[in-house]
């Protein structure tokens, strides 16, 4: 296994829609393992393939850092088929390190996809799992969590983040 480079905002691939994953072959299995190792190394809760430069509909989620005994979820070609309720909570993103903000999302989601063995998978996510599912599936659609903020809040973020990048590029 290998650690992969996590793409950072504003890299172009993060804003592009990913494509359907057709074959679950040895290359895909290796990618899943490498993504899992990378996510665990940085103590993330989820990672989408485009965050590591691969424009395919594949994401992994592991909320066991926050909720004991939560299994690793591998989702290929996921689709949210139903949403219920609404909840606002703080979110962060591995592609926008060091930035947290409150985002409103559905409190409960139903997702369909395929697991790493090619079997159909249906997941009902509530609370943190629902938030993680929505966050990662958004990535696959080229949507970042900052795109879910109000326009004023997003502009404030962009100005602050540009300054952060400029200040950190001097080091």
Residue in 88, 117, 124, 136 annotated catalytic: 136
Q: Rg for the chain (alpha carbons), in Å?
A: 16
- Inter-residue contact 148 to 96 (CB < 8 Å): no
Q: Which residues contact 99 (CB under 8 A, 6 or more apart)?
A: 92, 93, 146, 157, 161
Q: Which residues contact 91 (CB under 8 A, 6 or more apart)?
A: 100, 101, 102, 103, 131, 135, 145
> Within 13 A of 129's CA, how many CA atoms are on the CB side?
19
- Residues 67-72: contacts with CB within 8 Å, 24+ apart? 67/128, 67/129, 70/129, 72/36
Closest C-alpha among 83, 87, 21, 75 to residue 48: 75
53's torsion region: left (phi>0), alpha (psi -120 to 50) or beta?
Answer: left
Catalytic: 16? no
Instruction: Point out the residues that are catalytic.
Output: 136
């Amino acid at each position: 296994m290998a650690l992969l480079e996590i793409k950072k905002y504003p890299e172009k691939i993060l804003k592009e829609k990913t494509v359907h994953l057709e074959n679950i072959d040895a290359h895909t299995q290796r990618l899943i393992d490498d993504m899992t190792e990378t996510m665990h190394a940085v103590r993330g809760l989820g990672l989408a393939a485009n965050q590591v430069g691969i424009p395919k509909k594949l994401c992994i989620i592991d909320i066991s850092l926050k909720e004991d005994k939560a299994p690793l979820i591998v989702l290929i070609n996921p689709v949210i088929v139903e949403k219920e309720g609404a909840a606002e909570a703080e979110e962060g993103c591995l592609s926008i390190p060091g930035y947290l903000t409150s985002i409103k999302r559905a409190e409960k989601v139903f997702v369909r996809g395929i697991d790493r063995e090619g079997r159909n998978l249906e997941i009902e996510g509530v609370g943190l799992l629902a938030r993680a599912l929505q966050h990662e599936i958004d990535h696959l659609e080229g949507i970042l969590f900052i795109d879910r903020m109000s326009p004023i809040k997003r502009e404030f973020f962009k100005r602050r983040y540009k300054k952060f990048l400029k200040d950190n590029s001097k080091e």
